[in-house]
Amino acid sequence: MENNTSIFEQLASSLPIEERKALLLKINKSLKLHESTEDYTRHEIPRKELEIKVKNDIESSSWFERFIIKIYSFFTGKNTVDYFLKRKLHHLKKSLISINGPSYFDPECKKLSGRLASDIYSLYVLAVPLRKFFKVIWYDTDFIESVYSTLISEMIHTKKNTIYDFVSLEEMESIFADTGDKNQI
């Protein structure tokens, strides 16, 4: 461990003071993620940088996609960057919907879909005939008690009525002789 520390100290000592302070700040920030909200804030990319990145993406796309983008921008007079971003966002939404399938939530209008209501109604239709049956069962405490005792007896397989069924008298005496404490028994 000392060898690793000495290597780190050697590397840190070779840095100028400003870089050492910056490194120390980065280490402190990485160790205190929950205290710093700076890492989680949204950073806007300047418009020029965004246009450069999008133009590179357009150039790397297929010839047909470039053709569609140029035709659209020619006829509408809109910027190719804005159309490309709009098109990519649309494709991303479609791919998310196709991966997850139809959802209970509509991301376009930020509301619950009709599928949720129909599924809840179908669950209700299936549960209504069972209502009277469960009502009779849950209000009859003797029946529930007998069901639980039957389940427990089937799980244990043997009935235990006294303390000697769990631990024999000889075992209790040996435990008390070894420890001298009746709580251990």
- pLDDT over 50 (residue 180): yes
Q: Would the pLDDT of 34 be above 80? A: no
The residue among 108, 97, 100, 91 whose CA lies nearest residue 57 is 91
| pLDDT of res. 108 | 65
Q: What pLDDT score does 1 carry?
A: 46
Tokens 């000889």 -> residue? 170
For 76-128, write each residue's pLDDT tens digit.
Answer: 888 888 888 888 888 887 776 666 666 666 666 666 667 777 888 888 888 88
| pLDDT surpassing 50 at residue 149 | yes
* pLDDT, average across residues 6-27: 78
pLDDT beyond 70 at 2: no
Residue predicted with more confidence, 39 or 47? 47
Which of 19-23, 42-46, 95-99 has the highest mean predicted lDDT (pLDDT)? 19-23
pLDDT of residue 4: 54
Domain boundaries, the chain: 2-40, 47-125, 141-184
* Radius of gyration over every alpha carbon of the chain, rounded to an integer in angstroms: 35
CA distance 52 to 45: 11
Going through 8-160 in order, the beta strands assigned E by DSSP cover: 105-106, 111-112
Average of per-residue pLDDT across 134-149: 87
**What backbone phi and psi angles, to 5 degrees, belong to 112?**
-75, 145
Higher pLDDT, 27 or 31: 27
pTM, full prediction? 0.35
